[in-house]
Structure 1
Amino acid sequence: MDPDPPQKRRRIGNIDSEVSAGEAAKGRKVSRACDFCKSRKSKCSGTQPCDKCLAKGRHCLYDAKYTRGRPPTPPMRPEAGDAEESAVPSRASPEIGMAEIQGQVFDSTSGLSFLHRAWKRLSAQHTSIGNEEVGASETQPVTMAGDNPLSTETHEPLRLPDPTEARRLLALYFDVCIATYRFLHRPTVEAWLDVLERNMETEQPIWRGIGHARAAIVLVVLAIAVAHREKSNNFTSVGGEANALKLSDELFSIAARLTDGETGFPRLESAQARLVQVLYLLTTSRFNRSWFVFGIALQFVSALGLHRRANFKRRRIARTVDYIHVQCGLRTFWTAYILDNHLGVIFGRPRHFHDQDIDQELPERVNDDNMTADGPINTPGNPDCHIDALIFHTRIARIIGKISREIYSTRTLSEEERVAAAHRLMHEVHEWHADLPLHLGSIPPSMLIPSYRRQATVLKLAHAHAIMHSKRLFLLGNSASLQKDQVDDCLAAARVVLETVDASAAEGPIFHAFWWTHYVTFTALVIVYVWEIQQRRQGWTIANEAELLRLANRCHTHLAQATATNSPSRRYAVILEEFREAALTNNQIVEQVNLGLPVEVNVDPLLAGSSQNPGPAAMQGLTFFDEWEMTDWLDLDSSAFWPHADISESLEWPSYIYG
């Protein structure tokens, strides 16, 4: 099979210009390109206006500094007077030249150059705070670089919460913290906790009788609950977070040493122990380490054959089936599948699991209390089940994976093919939503018990994210009459996310604890700001425009205030500030938006301006998305995790390269 044709990207081309149309017969090289073609490193006819500027209706200029001797005068095109010209404000930022971000070259008019500015602003803020964090990153192991270090890495004695508090923390974990990631059997974990406490009382190794992996699972479950509880208390500084997470970090550190010391062949609990560690690291914004621990967890999942149905059949033949063990294996695999999907999106990295390699069945609809080793306990009727959320989360994750592959494919696709894929996959999203049980789709979450409330909220956000993910491409279209309905649906989904987040923040700082919600909020805010930029070009309008922007500003602030200063949520907020400035510059409702806010939007220091902040002028003009490509959306999704080194000043291209 022939490989897919490489996608056209903006890279440095030949410095020499092309032969102009007028001199083609003589084969004369054009020694000077117009300012626009020069900034793009593209071929230029050398006439004024040049071929490209004439086709695009741009104002063709030759004002850039010329460093190859005396600048030649470009020949005037005879029909230039008949060509319609439109002056387009420059989007260039004065201090930014060429930059390379993750191997991709971006110039000052690139659709993603604003991300360079956002990272420069973030770097400037970190510099003003001090160089301690930078120095710490340089000495951290490569799998942890950039993460907040654990509060303790020393071998301190284990401090368990008292039995009453430990049971309360277990309830918090299963009812609130994990939502749909229910791969652990609650009665079994409670039994392991009993053993661990007895070992503590008798001064035995805590893993005696249950093994390293199971003991580690108990400790990390408690750590997640402690971290969630402390995050809900709304600490506002790095030091405050470190102090608040001291106990949970101690529990996690001991658990990590237990799994490192595990011996023998891998067991289901080996995979579960690493997977629950990933959840803790994500909850505490240690994303770099979470990525590498997740990779280890996936190796255990694959080694155990949890992705293949045939392996389960062989086990049934080989030994007596433990129903709880089999169902927890299914739950573990599908939880890893969902996380693989989520982390691939926010990191911008390839997924590990591929649907064509998976033939595993979904877990059965059985609550933990109704499971025995011999099978499920029959219950009358068809009661609500906590596993419904895991099943439906898996289904929507599959659809989102299809959206990423088919709409955002790196293969060369026509706009018609992408639009057709979007319509087809949105039909699957609608079918998924119609199949939701009442307690997960129709009943307001506020009327549900805490465990179902969290699950309903997660699936509500997953539904909105699927709509945004599939329909945001219509924001960049040129046919308002054909695409307005799609844009309205995309905006409605973004509004659902922002209203949910705003309501959650009003109830308390619990929003700070949910890492995936931060990303979905970022996506919704980008859509609102992009729409505000585009609607001035296309003439799109929606009801309550000012109210929507006020809502967006509140959620922008919630995102900026969530977790520590070097967390992805803060990076999201800084990147969003570039969008916000572009969306609200010269907008007639800026005053309304600001009057609707009780405080200044930039309440967070990381959003404050600085001498290195180019400000709104860097994004002026209505041609911001002229060069936007579909895969640029994916680059934007993962922009909070771009390596600092790849966007440093050392990678800017000096002006003498272009001439």
Structure 2
Amino acid sequence: MRVSKACDRCRTQKIKCSGTHPCNTCTKHKKECTYSTNFTTGGNTTTAGVSSAKEQMLFPQYKKQKLLVEPFGLPVVNKTNEKDYISHLENRVQYLENLLSNDTARTFKDITSEEPENAELEKILISPSSKWRFSRRHQNLLIIQLCKSMYNNLSEESQQLVTIPRTQYFGWNMSGCNYLTSEELPKLPEFEFLNTEQYIDFFFEEINPLFAILHETVFREQVVAYDKLLKEQLTSSKNSDGDYKTNQTRLFSAKLYLVYALAIRFQEMQKPKGPSLEMLKIEEKLFKYAHKVVAILGFEWESFELIQSWLLITLYLRTTHRQTSCFHALGQAITMTKYMGIGSDNPKLATSTPYERLKAKRIFWCVYSFDRLFGLQTGRYCGLRDEDISREFPTYDFAEETKRDDWLTLPAFALIHLARISNFVHTSVNDHPTLIKYQQINKELVIIHDWFNSIGFRNDLIFNKGADLEVNSEDADKPVEKPISSLIKAQVKLHYYDLVMCIHGKVLFNFIGRRIVSNGLKLEMVLDASRGIIEVLDKVNKAGYLYTPWYLVLLLLFNVGVNAVTLVNSGVFVDQCRTLLKDTIKLLQVLKRASVRNENGKLVIRERFKMVRECLWALKMANKILSLRLQEDIKALNTIGTDHGSSEVNRQMFTQLGVSDEQTTKPKDEFNELFEKQLHRSDAPIDSTPRPVLAHGDDSITPSSSASLEYFAPGGDHSNPGNANPNGEDPVADVDNLLGNLQWFDQWLDFKYDF
């Protein structure tokens, strides 16, 4: 009864509705309030998808494909699934309505009101603080505006006697006897390595493009200014403790050291002989310094730079440490993002600079990508709730999205779209979505897969010479982007395959006795993803980069191995899965053999990647259990009996074909040779009836087939004195004559027609 009284918007978003017109919720958010009499709850949609109208505008090249059958079995109208098709159409209509309801201010006219318009209201109620802090407690602004107003009416002499109160939250609490003292920032760590520039270059070529955490152009300018400040500090006589001029650059030094730590980890671990243990110790020292600085400052303040720092920490911990620590760091970034309001239409945007608005946009989408894609890997969904987001998802037009923006990279842009599709998983009420929801997800996967192929992210192009993509903008003033690392492209495709496995991997439970019924789950997509993962990682291995410690390499290799054992155990796609399992073990063995040696070639550490041994043990144990099961099955079946005896019982003898029980050895092509033998027997009459000619062209039936069929033509003589019964009785004559009526049509088995 409550649902039937709710308006369309509350119904779609599943929130409480007052039932009035307009309802309280729509009035509060200034949205159009409509009531529909024809509402069905058949499909729950989110704004994460792309509407059909948008898809046709963005992908005109796919129009012809859309006229055909959908790739993953969208409903076809027939008597059995007519309800599914109607439900699908209703779902799409509701989805389009939802898109419109998100922007009713531009789509529909506002309800006329007697309240006077106040265009300056937003600016009046925005805090004058230069910090990007989002608060709607406007009482805090009243004292400042009041004092400013009175101050402006004072004479210059009186103005000299007063001071305007500073911007702060007056009366926050009643602490005063003992304020919590701020923790001191640690001193800069002492370290020595030759060329710091190479690590910065490596970071921006091989790490940063995947998520675009940092804006390379601005960060490099900041590095130059920071190095200049350090040189001035060394030559300054005023600085006795070495921390006079750099006490305001601690947060930047933390970001810089996180860049160094990530670059050292990736660069050192991918070396064939293994990393330098001395450099890994420096890396740990740099990370601990940076983490402590960020934790201290993040305990007291909030800023864009702190969010970026937490993201760098998250990436480092995802590569090197535990799940809990990684998600603690990501949680800090998400919390700061939500409470700074950079995912919504923050009124602070009205007084911000264009670069501040760009920074808020880029950092938000980076946090969103981390949350959605890392959430898939641990099964922890929605750190950022959809209610916290009002930004519109970008289209697939990368040139349009980066027209005046050199921050966003194409791989990071691709991950935003993968995160958008992942949102279907994050926002699902349970782990068993409806068929229509699966159809929406599968359609999005097809679109983004085709888009990957169109922008040069095909598997066969990765690591090919000259295959690195250069993105040309239509804007002539914008410089051409530098080529994208093939290893970064590989990580994008691995993220795509991980998404496919997360969505469709549940179907494998059907093969271990745990029944999951859904027509939306596709085993073929799991197999395609498994083959794609092996194909990409095989190319990475051949290029010599398999040791690069990207987090999805070992995880997906293990998943592919488990998938293969599962399907071999069930007897499904056995040949393909045996190959997948073999290739998986081969790549895991490559990782297992990776050791650490010193400059003299002496073995220092036998296993560079310790978790590989765990994965190999689990897969080989599963394979052994499978082998033992098969051996027991073979033993049991042999006990039941396999002595089938003579094959005579399986042989049928036809006198009209000349087959008798005396013939024990059959020629390779027994029937054709038998027919030829029959035709050339001296006592067998040959029919002189002309052979049939095909209706189109000059092609006629081949000699062997026509010869074999002519013998049974209706005009032919079926008598065979050599095989006749001595008593003049043919026991199978009636059967043979009847069979000839059917075999007469065999003359046209080779009929060729240009269909």
Q: Please give the range of the TM-score, normalised by the shorter of the 2 chains.
A: 0.5 to 0.7
Range with greater deviation from structure 2 (180-189 or 444-453): 444-453
2:391 maps to which of 360, 370, 374: 360
2:297 maps to which of 241, 252, 262: 262
Q: How does 1:249-648 map to 2 (within 5 A)?
A: 249-262=284-297, 265-308=301-344, 310-311=345-346, 314-319=347-352, 321-323=353-355, 325-362=356-393, 376=405, 387-403=409-425, 406=428, 409=430, 420-436=436-452, 437-441=454-458, 444-447=461-464, 448-449=467-468, 451-477=484-510, 486-535=522-571, 540-541=572-573, 543-558=575-590, 571-585=614-628
- Corresponding residue for residue 217 of structure 1: 255
- Corresponding residue for residue 627 of structure 1: none
Offset at 1:443? 7.0
Q: Are 2:534 and 2:580, in contact at CA under 8 Å, matched by a contact in 1?
A: no
| Structure 1 residues 328 and 208: alpha-carbon distance in aligned structure 2, compared to 1, 3 A threshold | same
The whole-number CA distance in structure 2 between the counterparts of 1:545 and 1:526 is 10
Range with greater deviation from structure 2 (178-187 or 438-447): 438-447
Offset at 1:232? 0.7
- Corresponding residue for residue 225 of structure 2: 195
The whole-number CA distance in structure 2 between the counterparts of 1:522 and 1:206 is 52
The whole-number CA distance in structure 2 between the counterparts of 1:258 and 1:531 is 50
The whole-number CA distance in structure 2 between the counterparts of 1:161 and 1:445 is 33
In the alignment, structure 2 segments of 5+ residues that lack a partner are 4-184, 235-241, 469-482, 596-606, 637-755
| Structure 1 residues 355 and 247: alpha-carbon distance in aligned structure 2, compared to 1, 3 A threshold | same
Q: Are 2:375 and 2:382, in contact at CA under 8 Å, matched by a contact in 1?
A: yes
Offset at 1:286? 4.3
| Structure 1 residues 360 and 210: alpha-carbon distance in aligned structure 2, compared to 1, 3 A threshold | farther
The whole-number CA distance in structure 1 between the counterparts of 2:536 and 2:459 is 15
Q: Are 1:528 and 1:549, in contact at CA under 8 Å, matched by a contact in 2?
A: yes
Offset at 1:211? 3.0
| Structure 1 residues 469 and 223: alpha-carbon distance in aligned structure 2, compared to 1, 3 A threshold | same
Q: Are 2:319 and 2:549, in contact at CA under 8 Å, matched by a contact in 1?
A: yes
For the residue of structure 2 that corresponds to 1:446, the secondary structure is: coil
For the residue of structure 1 that corresponds to 2:332, the secondary structure is: helix
Q: Aligned AA for 2:553?
A: T
| Structure 1 residues 445 and 507: alpha-carbon distance in aligned structure 2, compared to 1, 3 A threshold | closer
Q: Aligned AA for 1:272?
A: Q
For the residue of structure 2 that corresponds to 1:440, the secondary structure is: coil
Q: Are 2:507 and 2:523, in contact at CA under 8 Å, matched by a contact in 1?
A: yes
Q: How does 1:111-150 map to 2 (within 5 A)?
A: none
The whole-number CA distance in structure 2 between the counterparts of 1:555 and 1:353 is 36
Q: RMSD over aligned Cα, in angstroms?
A: 4.0
| Structure 1 residues 421 and 542: alpha-carbon distance in aligned structure 2, compared to 1, 3 A threshold | farther
The whole-number CA distance in structure 1 between the counterparts of 2:505 and 2:276 is 36
Offset at 1:455? 3.5
Q: How does 1:132-211 map to 2 (within 5 A)?
A: 157-159=189-191, 161-162=193-194, 165-201=195-231, 202-203=233-234, 204-205=242-243, 208=246, 211=249
The whole-number CA distance in structure 2 between the counterparts of 1:545 and 1:261 is 51
Offset at 1:494? 0.3
TM-score by length of 2: 0.48
| Structure 1 residues 355 and 581: alpha-carbon distance in aligned structure 2, compared to 1, 3 A threshold | farther
% identity of equivalent residues: 16
Offset at 1:551? 0.7
Residues 45-76 of structure 1 show CA distances to partners (whole Å, capped at 9, x for unaligned) of xxxxxxxxxxxxxxxxxxxxxxxxxxxxxxxx
Offset at 1:279? 1.4
Q: Are 1:337 and 1:353, in contact at CA under 8 Å, matched by a contact in 2?
A: yes
Q: Aligned AA for 2:624?
A: E
| Structure 1 residues 442 and 361: alpha-carbon distance in aligned structure 2, compared to 1, 3 A threshold | farther
The whole-number CA distance in structure 1 between the counterparts of 2:506 and 2:286 is 44
The whole-number CA distance in structure 2 between the counterparts of 1:292 and 1:390 is 23
Q: Are 2:200 and 2:263, in contact at CA under 8 Å, matched by a contact in 1?
A: yes
Q: Are 2:588 and 2:612, in contact at CA under 8 Å, matched by a contact in 1?
A: no
- Corresponding residue for residue 248 of structure 1: 283
Q: Are 1:533 and 1:582, in contact at CA under 8 Å, matched by a contact in 2?
A: no
Offset at 1:429? 0.8
Offset at 1:219? 1.3
Q: Are 1:330 and 1:361, in contact at CA under 8 Å, matched by a contact in 2?
A: no
For the residue of structure 2 that corresponds to 1:291, the secondary structure is: helix
Q: Are 1:475 and 1:487, in contact at CA under 8 Å, matched by a contact in 2?
A: yes
| Structure 1 residues 559 and 244: alpha-carbon distance in aligned structure 2, compared to 1, 3 A threshold | same
The whole-number CA distance in structure 1 between the counterparts of 2:618 and 2:187 is 39
Residues 596-626 of structure 1 show CA distances to partners (whole Å, capped at 9, x for unaligned) of xxxxxxxxxxxxxxxxxxxxx9xx99xxxxx
How many residue pairs end up in the alignment? 409
Q: Establish whether residue 230 from structure 1 lines up as the match of residue 261 from structure 2.
A: no
Offset at 1:176? 0.8
The whole-number CA distance in structure 2 between the counterparts of 1:206 and 1:442 is 53
- Corresponding residue for residue 660 of structure 2: none
Which is greater in Rg?
Answer: 2
Q: Which has the higher contact order (CA 8 A, sep 6+)?
A: 1
In the alignment, structure 1 segments of 5+ residues that lack a partner are 3-152, 378-384, 589-616, 622-659
Offset at 1:421? 3.7
The whole-number CA distance in structure 2 between the counterparts of 1:206 and 1:228 is 34
Offset at 1:284? 2.2
Q: Aligned AA for 1:332?
A: I
Offset at 1:229? 0.7
For the residue of structure 2 that corresponds to 1:262, the secondary structure is: helix
| Structure 1 residues 353 and 576: alpha-carbon distance in aligned structure 2, compared to 1, 3 A threshold | farther
The whole-number CA distance in structure 2 between the counterparts of 1:217 and 1:172 is 15
TM-score by length of 1: 0.54
The whole-number CA distance in structure 1 between the counterparts of 2:548 and 2:199 is 18
The whole-number CA distance in structure 2 between the counterparts of 1:197 and 1:363 is 37
Q: Aligned AA for 2:455?
A: L
Offset at 1:288? 3.4
Offset at 1:543? 4.9
